[in-house]
Structure 1
Amino acid sequence: MELAVLITLVVIALAFDYTNGFHDAANAIATSVSTRALTPKVALILAAVMNFIGALIGTEVAHTVADTIGSISGTHGLVIVLGALLGAISWNLITWYFGLPSSSSHALIGALVGAGLVGGATVNWAIIKEKVVVPMIVSPVVGFTLAFLLMLAFTWILRKRNPHVINRRFRFLQVFSAAALALGHGLQDAQKTMGVILIALVTYDHTRYDIDHLPIWVIVGAAGAISLGTYSGGWRIMRTIGRKIIKLDPPSGFAAESVATSVLYVMAIHFKAPVSTTHTITSAVMGAGATRGRRAVQWNMAGTIVMAWVLTFPCAALAAAASYGVLKLVLPV
């Protein structure tokens, strides 16, 4: 019975990774597509390849996710994790349907907390506060501020240059900034699924699997799933980021992508924090656009997005708690 639940859990975890890819594909390519630096097809291929490579780079974020809950074992522990995955997937699909760029990262961690609490698991609140809540607040603020300052610098330095020449050169640069952002997305988001699978493996057999060591098949499987999901695309969310927040030009697109990439790398490698690619790039887009004045940014849409951010953690937790309750009735645990 436990083995069957474990296999089901791994399959669903990879399915979540896949939905993460198509849900968040727009993060890496929306700005480049909206400024016509890349065609949608080329952008998707680039994002898929770089997501795969990024997922293979490190495992720091995966271990942070794996440490969020503990004191679970046996079939009951696996059901807790399975409920968390189903809750996170549910919230991902809801926000995808409405075209809201919410955070798959916070949906997953919120779901782990929700299922863990109702299932009697130990929730590591210190890690959640230090590695999740604080970065969740800091990364969008830093992204907005740095993108605003970088775009101001571009505006001043390039004020006397030919706009057509500037746009052409920044479109070329956006190929590299989009690739770097997609790499950062793989570095961040694929690792979160790795962390969940690691929890499940240790729960299933702690004598065989170690919480500090990720099996290579988990790394490659998560990398492949998020890459395939990315290639499937996320056109609804792409329209929200690329058009409904602000009409981007190549310099502002490059500024937003460069800043978001820097934040993702620093948070993943230095702080080992599972931050949201969605929050980071969206806030950077708003920061770059705000240099044109208050009316340049669609603040009503921005407010809707912020509301989705705020609701993600508790709604995913509730969805996971409900999923756990249904699973407990269905499965003999």
Structure 2
Amino acid sequence: MPDLSPEVIILVLVVIMALAFDFINGFHDTANAIATSVSTRALSPKTAIIIASLCNLIGALSYTGVAKTIGGSITDPFKLENGLVVVLAALTSAILWNLITWWFGIPSSSSHAIIGGVAGAAFGAAGSGAINWSGFISIIQALIISPLVAFAIGFVVIKLVSWFVRNSAYHKTNKGFRSMQVLSASWQAFSHGANDAQKTMGVITLALISGGFLVQAPGEFVIPLWVKLSAALAMALGTAFGGWRIIKTLGGKIMKIKPISGFSADLSSALIITIFTALKLPVSTTHVITSAILGVGASQKLNAVKWGLAGRILVTWVITLPITGLLAAACYVVFDVFL
């Protein structure tokens, strides 16, 4: 058996870590797609997870624009020295943070975690010059704007939907919206796969290019087919295992969800994620769906939303980027010494 070079060993470790992150992302973010439909009993947990897994897989194979943004807009893979170690440090940071927040049942952002990790590791490797600030800032803007828009759209959608069914019998309305939640949850899961799985594709391709294992022209960023397939399958498998702690938080602790409000929240968040995916911009599906739920709840009654919990979630959103960035920079320093 031929001796493997240190670079090959690190690359294998990076791919394993990236797919583990993708699996945990699916596990961690399953609640984004199915929490409202499970809480309103539109779908049983088992059926919801099967639908979410399949739609996540299809969505993950449908687009590559976000992957190119993640892999090429935060730092330049063609100029990044010791890029394999940078990616390894970023993934380590993101996985640790995902596991910590999952354990405490807080719907934090896997997107923030990996973006903060890549930026922090690149900074730790080569200082501020390693960051493509214009690309990084555009990503941050998308992460900030998308939940605000989701809140507003959720607020408006529930008002419009309620107006259309204002003269319908309550029982008939509930039954109808439970049926429509199957479609809205499916779209939500598809959009989640289309946006979130691409982040792992982008990170693996970043490692391949910066490590010299994938030869492309400067500025070119083509995702290999095996990367697309493995990332899509890892996320689908993670989704299949579910994230029940976070489902409990999103499905009932923020506000009491009825079929009409669950449908409105799903429809609003899926629309926003799809639009940003088409614009090749990464968003946090956790932020978007939670904000849509808050928007729906606030439109009905301000005290229907448990704002204390919402504030706790908001704090987690804010601290994720700096914490994962610092953690990734520290991981890079340690890895650079021993690898």
Partner in structure 2 of residue 46 of structure 1: 51
Amino acid corresponding to residue 112 of structure 1 in structure 2: V
Structure 1 residue 237 and structure 2 residue 237: aligned?
no
Identity of aligned residues (%): 47
Specify which of 99, 104, 111 is matched with residue 105 of structure 1.
111
Contact 2:33/2:188, CA 8 A, preserved across alignment: yes
- Please tell me whether residue 194 in structure 1 is matched to residue 201 in structure 2: yes
Q: Deviation string for 1:192-242 (max 9, x for gaps)?
A: 000000001101226634642111000000000000001110011111111
Q: Which residue of 1 aligns with 2:3?
A: none
One-letter identity of the residue aligned with 1:253: G
1:91, 1:319 within 8 Å by CA — same for their partners in 2? no
Q: Which of the numbers 24, 29, 49 marks the counterpart of 1:24?
A: 29
Distance 2:247 2:214 in 1: 44
CA deviations over 1:98-152 (Å, ceiling 9, x no partner):
111111011101000111101116111101111x211112111111111111111
Q: Is the 8 A contact 1:86 1:323 kept in 2?
A: yes
- Cα deviation for residue 329 of structure 1 reads 2.3
Aligned to 1:116: 122
Match of 2:143 among 133, 136, 139: 136
Secondary structure, counterpart of 2:300 in structure 1:
coil
Aligned counterparts of 1:126 and 1:56: Cα–Cα separation in 2? 28
Deviates more, 1:181-190 or 1:211-220: 211-220
- Partners of 2:124 and 2:330 within 8 A in 1: no
Unaligned runs of 5+ in 2: 1-5
Secondary structure, in 3 states, of the residue corresponding to 1:248?
A: coil
Structure 1 residue 223 corresponds to structure 2 residue 232: yes
Match of 1:168 in 2: 175
Displacement of 1:69 after TM fit? Answer: 1.0
Name the residue aligned to 1:292: 300
1:25-51 deviation digits (Å, cap 9, x = unpaired): 100000100010000000011101000
Tell me the CA shift for residue 323 of structure 1.
Answer: 1.5
Distance (whole Å) between structure 2 residues aligned to residue 135 and residue 80 of structure 1: 24
One-letter code of the match for 1:14? L
Shift of 1:273: 0.5
- Structure 1 residue 268, shift from structure 2 partner: 0.7
TM-score in terms of structure 2 length? 0.94
- Whole-angstrom CA distance in 2 between matches of 1:52 and 1:206: 26
In 2: Cα distance, 1:224 partner to 1:291 partner: 38
User: Per-residue deviation at 1:158?
Assistant: 1.6
| Count of residues in Structure 1 that have an aligned counterpart in Structure 2 | 327
Runs of at least 5 residues in structure 1 that lack an aligned partner in the other structure:
none
Contact 2:36 2:251 (8 Å CA) reproduced: yes
Instruction: Tell me, in whole angstroms, the C-alpha distance in 2 between the residues paired with 1:188 and 1:218.
Output: 15
Divergent runs of 4+, >6 A? none
Q: Aligned partners of 2:183 and 2:163: how far apart in 1?
A: 23
User: What is the SS of the residue equivalent to 1:69?
Assistant: coil
Q: Distance in 1 between matches of 2:68 and 2:41?
A: 38
2:216 & 2:15 partners in 1: Cα distance?
A: 15
User: Please, what is the CA RMSD of the aligned residues?
Assistant: 1.1
The residue type paired with residue 87 of structure 1 is S
- Matching of residue 309 in structure 1 with residue 314 in structure 2: no
1:77-96 matches, cutoff 5 A: 77-96=83-102
Report the counterpart of residue 276 of structure 1 in structure 2.
284
Residue 328 of structure 2 corresponds to which residue in structure 1? 320
Secondary structure, in 3 states, of the residue corresponding to 2:215? coil
CA distance in 1, matches of 2:191, 2:306: 27
Cα distance in 2 between the residues matched to 1:281 and 1:66: 25
Q: Does the aligned pair in 1 maintain the 2:94–2:117 contact within 8 Å?
A: yes
For residues 308-330 of structure 1, what are the alpha-carbon distances to aligned partners after superposition, in whole Å with 9 as ceiling and x for unaligned?
Answer: 10011001111111211221222
Deviation by residue 1:81-113 (Cα, 9 ceiling, x = unmatched): 100100011111111111111110111010001
Larger mean CA deviation between 146-155 and 189-198 belongs to 146-155
* One-letter code aligned to 2:178: R
Query: Counterparts of 1:157 and 1:222 in 2: how far apart (Å)?
Result: 41
What's the TM-score, normalizing by structure 1?
0.96
8 Å CA contact 2:22, 2:200 repeated in 1: yes
- After superposing the two structures, state which structure 1 stretch, 179-188 or 133-142, moved more: 133-142
